[in-house]
Amino acid sequence: MTVIERPRLGQVAITPSAVAMAWLGVGHRHEMVAVPAVTLGPGDLLVAIELATLCGSDLHAVSGERRASTPLVLGHEQLGRIVAIGEGAPARAVDGTRLIVGARVVWSVTAACGGCQSCKAGFRQNCLSPRHYGRERMQRGWELSGGFASHIQVLAGTAVVVIDEEIPAEVVAPVGCATATVVAALDAATRITGLAGTTVVIAGAGLLGLTAAAMARDAGARVIVSEPDPDRRENARSFGAAAVVNPGAASGSALSLDRALRSLGARGGHFRIGLEFSGSPQAMASLIGGVDVGGVVVLAGTVSPDSSIVIDPEALVRRLVTVTGVHDSAPLQLLKAVDYLQEAWRRWPFGALVGAEVALDQLDSAFEIAAAGDWLRVGIRP
Ligand SMILES: [Zn+2]
Ligand SMILES: [Zn+2]
């Protein structure tokens, strides 16, 4: 049983101490750090973590593919329960409800600063100096800054959403990262063309691709998922894909995109919406080259700066094609993502995507399991 005491204004003592897994750099194992007290600013939340999931970007940091300054508490996909709230300002959820101790919550991957031009103008999702959960060097005053910990300090300026007690932790933990990004991608697509009755091609059958397949199908689209890995590809059928294709398949062969489009009766063998979650330059080029007149391709899978593709501008101009990108999401998209999962988890097997779960002090083994690639997410439970 955790005891929360307030020795003086703003300060919160946690007994037994909160613990965070500090990552010290490539090649080092995580080390457990005790945090006996935190200082909560007005509207900050102290949240006891129920479950965190390991995202691909955590793996990229630990393998050295993504630069990070250490020591660092990784993890930005999680849910938990509020155990203390900083005095001096009301803490509110995205929908305006007042947050209270005991509420089960999820939150965005960044916190807005509240002081920059964008924040002052009311556009907190476009904050010029956001704080990133699970990505910033551990610092005095914000030690509990990542999800791989017993508790996390959720800063004022973070988009917070209260969740149902019934929704399984495995389903909702990745919502602030993966699900909200998919909502942003579909919002970007539907600004150009509607989903109902449309053929949508999704590149990549990771968590984002599968989530997008289920959402697009629920919105009335015919969904084709393109994925090189055979197990992941077949998995897409259980998330609503009407057909699955192998991006490497020769034109006209069994698993080719053109054959799938024809079999689904897509007009002229084309699709109107392409959603790119794989980060593969070939996938981007094939979506942009194959999308129908007036269609849209949303790029959401590219996370490294070193990929480039060749685009034939004339083809875009003559076919009136829109190519756009999304990164992260706005607070209302997080709310939409939560609303979706709270209803959809009973119909689509989102919970089954967290295939393994380890205890917090076994975090290094969670990274090993995740790196083996058998599961889309590995859960970490404090
Ligand atoms: Zn993530
Ligand atoms: Zn700001």
Provide CB contacts within 8 A for 349, sequence distance 6+.
Answer: 238, 239
Q: Could you tell me if 145 and 194 lie in one domain?
A: no
How much is the pLDDT for 306?
66
What is the pLDDT tens value at each position of the chain, 382 positions in all?
A: 788 888 888 899 999 999 999 999 999 999 999 999 999 999 999 999 999 999 999 999 999 988 889 999 999 999 999 999 999 988 999 999 999 999 999 999 999 998 999 888 877 778 999 999 999 999 999 999 999 999 999 999 999 999 999 999 999 999 999 999 999 999 999 999 999 999 999 999 999 999 999 999 999 999 999 999 999 999 999 999 999 999 999 999 999 999 999 998 866 678 999 999 998 999 999 999 999 999 999 999 776 666 788 888 888 889 999 999 988 889 999 999 999 999 999 999 999 999 899 999 999 999 999 999 888 999 999 9
304 CA from centroid of ligand 1 (Å) = 14
Residue 28 lies in a domain: yes
286 CA from centroid of ligand 1 (Å) = 26
Would you tell me how many other CB atoms lie within 10 Å of the CB of residue 129? 11
380 CA from centroid of ligand 2 (Å) = 31
Q: Could you tell me if 8 and 125 lie in one domain?
A: yes
| Residue given tokens 């698993």 in the structure block | 255
Q: Which amino acid is at 224?
A: I
Residue 337 lies in a domain: no
76 CA from centroid of ligand 1 (Å) = 6
Cα–Cα dist 213/239, whole Å: 6
Cα–Cα dist 89/44, whole Å: 9
In this structure, what CATH number is given to the domain that contains residue 255?
3.40.50.720
202 CA from centroid of ligand 2 (Å) = 33
Cβ density class 226-243: b for 16+ within 10 Å, e for less: bbbeeebbebbeebbbbb
3-state secondary structure (DSSP) of residue 170: helix
How much is the pLDDT for 350?
96
Q: Could you tell me if 162 and 204 lie in one domain?
A: no
Q: Could you tell me if 35 and 113 lie in one domain?
A: yes
Q: Could you tell me if 43 and 103 lie in one domain?
A: yes
pTM comes to 0.95
How much is the pLDDT for 214?
98
Per DSSP, helices labelled H in the chain are: 56-63, 117-120, 169-172, 178-190, 207-218, 230-235, 257-263, 281-290, 313-319, 331-344, 363-372
Cα–Cα dist 44/144, whole Å: 12
**Number of folded domains in the chain?**
2
| Residue given tokens 């480039």 in the structure block | 308
How much is the pLDDT for 312?
86
| Residue given tokens 């929704």 in the structure block | 167
Q: Could you tell me if 149 and 196 lie in one domain?
A: no
In this structure, what CATH number is given to the domain that contains residue 86?
3.90.180.10
Residue 68 lies in a domain: yes
Contact 347, 42 (CB under 8 A): no
Which tokens hold the place of 153? 């300090």
| Residue given tokens 């204004």 in the structure block | 9
Q: Could you tell me if 47 and 161 lie in one domain?
A: yes
Q: Could you tell me if 218 and 135 lie in one domain?
A: no
78 CA from centroid of ligand 1 (Å) = 10
13 CA from centroid of ligand 2 (Å) = 29
| Residue given tokens 């010029």 in the structure block | 128
353 CA from centroid of ligand 1 (Å) = 14
Q: Could you tell me if 199 and 315 lie in one domain?
A: yes
How much is the pLDDT for 269?
75
330 CA from centroid of ligand 2 (Å) = 13
Backbone phi and psi for residue 153, each to the nearest 5 degrees, phi listed first: -95, 110
158 CA from centroid of ligand 2 (Å) = 11
How much is the pLDDT for 49?
98
Residue 315 lies in a domain: yes
For 263, how many CA atoms within 13 A lie in the half-sphere containing its CB? 15
3-state secondary structure (DSSP) of residue 45: strand
Residue 335 lies in a domain: no
Residue 332 lies in a domain: no
Q: Could you tell me if 358 and 231 lie in one domain?
A: no
Q: Could you tell me if 162 and 184 lie in one domain?
A: no
Residue 60 lies in a domain: yes
3-state secondary structure (DSSP) of residue 241: coil
129 CA from centroid of ligand 2 (Å) = 5
Residue 257 lies in a domain: yes
Q: Give all strands of the β-sheet with 222-226 in edge-to-edge order.
A: 243-245, 222-226, 199-203, 271-276, 291-299, 322-325
Q: Could you tell me if 72 and 24 lie in one domain?
A: yes
**Domain ranges, residue 63:** 3-168+345-381
Q: What angle do CA 36, 39, 44 make, to 5 degrees?
A: 120
179 CA from centroid of ligand 1 (Å) = 9
Contact 200, 271 (CB under 8 A): yes
How much is the pLDDT for 366?
96
Of the listed ligands, the closest to the CA of 54 is 1
